[in-house]
A and B are shown apart, each in its own frame.
Chain A
Amino acid sequence: MSDQQGEDPAITLYRLQACPFCERVVRRLEELDLAFESRFVEPLHSERNAVKRVAGTRTVPVIVDEHTGVTMAESENIVEYLDRTYGEERLAPSEA
């Protein structure tokens, strides 16, 4: 399992337990077989200062990708970014 061990993968996912938007990103990370580390934050929006600091927003999910230097919020954008960067789509640059 990609996020069970103590290693430090390049992708960090800020997530909230049971948040469907976060699960959607997790599913795609797993589909793409990408190693990532989960950081779970508080349900209370006002207490998510760690997320605010890295991403400028308190919404989750947020990913920080050290491969590319990208920090991104909003699950739809994240999934699209992952597909573009690591998925099949990256093999078809003409579409970009």
Chain B
Amino acid sequence: MVSFDVTELPPADPPARGESAPEFVRPLVGAEYWENAALSELAETGPVVLVFYPMDGAFPATYMWTEIRDRGWGADADATVVGVSISTPYEHGAFIDRYDLEYRLFSDPANGVAERYGVVHDLDGMAGVTEPRPAVVLVDGDRTVRYTWAAEEWPEFPPYDETEDAIAEL
């Protein structure tokens, strides 16, 4: 049980298990630089966990990435774990630095990737701003979706154990 009121989100429409995950290219930000990267490029080296999350600075962003960091996702190279948010490369750089993340984050200010993945969240009280809702899409080396989760409430956090099981099953 959560101790605060949660808001229900309209239905999400993420790609289903077995479907091909939509391809995209966006600046992928690491600790030292950013460059354009394609999902298919990341998938060439194995499974990819796409973590859609709210803008850097919002508390769910902090909760999600410190949890993922503390759980050591991707540390044994079983999957490449990357984030997707609307924050700019500069904000991603500061966020990575602040929380000592060894993950790279896609910068998608126009929210097109979340749109293509059916996980958009139109923010109440922030006119004209839309971002991804928390969501997880696990794709294998062929870019086939193997696991999907999308928040149905706001805020709601990814089922970390379930995601780890899905990665382990690959």
Q: Are B34 and A40 in contact (CB under 8 A)?
A: yes
Q: Are A5 and B33 in contact (CB under 8 A)?
A: no
Interface of A, secondary structure class, is mixed
Interface of B, secondary structure class, is strand
Q: Are B32 and A5 in contact (CB under 8 A)?
A: no
Residues of A within 8 A of B93 (CB): 42
Q: Are A40 and B32 in contact (CB under 8 A)?
A: no
Residues of B within 8 A of A85 (CB): none
A41 is an interface residue with CB less than 8 A from chain B: yes
Q: Which positions 4-35 of chain A face chain B at CB distance < 8 Å?
A: 4-6, 8, 14
- Name A's B-contacting residues (CB within 8 A): 3-6, 8, 14, 37-42, 47-50
- Name B's A-contacting residues (CB within 8 A): 25, 27, 32-38, 40-41, 89, 93
11 pairs, A vs B, C-beta closer than 8 Å? A4-B25, A6-B25, A6-B38, A8-B41, A37-B35, A37-B36, A38-B36, A40-B33, A42-B32, A48-B32, A50-B32
Other contacts beyond A6-B41, A14-B33: 14, CB < 8 A: A4-B25, A6-B25, A6-B36, A6-B38, A8-B41, A38-B36, A39-B33, A40-B33, A40-B89, A42-B33, A47-B32, A48-B32, A49-B32, A50-B33
